[in-house]
Amino acid sequence: MNKENRITPFEAYKARLGTWEITTLKREEVLSKGIQKQAIDLTDKWINVFPKESTWIQQNYGIPSLLVRFDGIDDNGILRTYEIEDRPAGIGHTNLINPDFKQRLSKLRETWPEFDVAISPLRDPADDKLWCNVVDKNSATGLVFVRAEPEEMQFRELQSRSVSTIATEGDKSYGVALGLWKFIDSPTQFPRRRSFVLKALQSSKGRNMAFYDVRSRPGPGNVKMKNAEKLLIEQVATKGGMYIQELIPPMQSGIDLYPFMIYRFFLGYDFKQKEWVPLGGTYFARNNLKIHGASDSVSGPLVIE
């Protein structure tokens, strides 16, 4: 039985995104008002603890980015946060499959200044072309939303015109201040009877992460303790340490082949009202605890209540 049949009764279609073909469900998930409020409150705290960078938006508005994304779950009305993405990807994909998000983003952009996405030649521009004008670094003349890795030093000359992060993109130190995770630099600090996730000090797209599930029969996506120790030792040698977070189980999707589900939703900054506005987003489901950035997952629209 193929995947399309196995995910019935949820109607599915293929969404093309550059070289990616994403299986998309028409079934909607609803982001409750309570979860939205919790996300706004946490973002107001986040902007005060995220590392400062000499960007246009930080210097003029005191925030790291005009658009952020929460990766997390609704745990019986409680927002459990995996990450707060400071310069989120997936905006174009969400624009493509979620008409409610597209409408809300369009309305919010009426309060924003004009800007282009200045993209690295190492990046696929397909997603960003679905929501914004895309240019290369040398063609960028006004404000920019940079899409490049922090180590691509040539993009840092755009800081004074950037509406989001560049050098600090993917910095996860904010999670310590918010109580989301802790810094560790030795395997002796692992909790031996509790499940956990290891995160790199600065990264994105799910790189250098490890999931350790203490259960005798963990689900797919987990590593053995010796592999978690190996990753930490490597990261200590090159970066000085890692962050460790309690393993927060994903939601159950109700989809046969893709049982694990997370929410990925956006908040945008309203320049006129000077407040964060929930926009909705997507949900992703997969047969693996590591759902971030996976190509073998399914997705669908997450709409505002």
Is pLDDT at 269 greater than 70 in this prediction?
A: yes
Taking the C-alpha atoms of 146, 147, 149 and 151 in order, what is their torsion angle to the nearest 10 degrees?
-30
**Of the candidates 98, 108, 104, the residue with the CA atom closest to the CA atom of residue 29:** 98
Q: What share of the chain is helix, strand, coil (3-state, %, to 5)?
A: 25, 30, 45
- Ranges of beta strands (E only) in 106-252 are 116-119, 134-135, 144-147, 182-184, 196-199, 210-212, 242-246, 251-252
Is pLDDT at 205 greater than 80 in this prediction?
A: no
The encoded tokens of residue 249 equal 């189980």
Q: What is the model's pLDDT at position 59?
A: 97
Q: What mean pLDDT comes out for the span 6-14?
A: 61
For the stretch 22-58, pLDDT in tens is: 788 989 999 999 999 999 999 999 999 999 999 999 9
| DSSP, residue by residue, 222-274 | ---HHHHHHHHHHHHHHHS-EEEEE--PPEE---TT--EEEEEEEEEEETTTT
For the stretch 63-87, pLDDT in tens is: 999 999 999 999 999 999 999 999 9
Q: What is the model's pLDDT at position 7?
A: 44
Q: What mean pLDDT comes out for the span 264-283?
A: 98
Which of these ranges, 101-110, 130-139, 222-231, has the smallest mean pLDDT? 222-231
Is pLDDT at 11 greater than 80 in this prediction?
A: no
Q: What mean pLDDT comes out for the span 112-141?
A: 95
Q: What is the model's pLDDT at position 185?
A: 96
Q: What mean pLDDT comes out for the span 227-233?
A: 94
**For residue 92, what pLDDT band results from cuts at 50, 70 and 90?**
very high
- Per the model's pLDDT, the better-predicted residue between 29 and 219 turns out to be 29
Is pLDDT at 2 greater than 50 in this prediction?
A: no
Q: What mean pLDDT comes out for the span 109-115?
A: 98
* 52-71 core/surface letters (b: 16 or more CB in 10 A; e: else): ebebbbbeebebbbbbbbbb
* Cα 235 from Cα 305, distance rounded (Å): 41
Is pLDDT at 203 greater than 90 in this prediction?
A: no
Q: What mean pLDDT comes out for the span 135-162?
A: 96
Which of these ranges, 92-106, 158-172, 218-232, has the smallest mean pLDDT? 218-232
Classify the phi-psi angles of 221: left when phi > 0, otherwise alpha if psi is within -120 to 50, otherwise beta.
left
* 153-176 core/surface letters (b: 16 or more CB in 10 A; e: else): eebbebbebbbbbbbbbbbbbbbe
Is pLDDT at 3 greater than 50 in this prediction?
A: no
Q: What is the model's pLDDT at position 293?
A: 59
Largest CA distance in the chain: 56
DSSP 114: P
- Per the model's pLDDT, the better-predicted residue between 291 and 250 turns out to be 250
For the stretch 232-253, pLDDT in tens is: 999 999 999 999 999 999 999 9
Is pLDDT at 297 greater than 70 in this prediction?
A: yes
Query: What is the share, in percent, of the chain residues with pLDDT greater than 90?
Result: 76
- Per the model's pLDDT, the better-predicted residue between 105 and 17 turns out to be 105
Which of these ranges, 38-52, 66-80, 115-129, 283-297, has the smallest mean pLDDT? 283-297
Q: What is the model's pLDDT at position 5?
A: 36
Q: What mean pLDDT comes out for the span 174-188?
A: 97
Q: Is 115 helix (H, G, I), strand (E, B) or coil?
A: coil
Q: What is the model's pLDDT at position 6?
A: 44
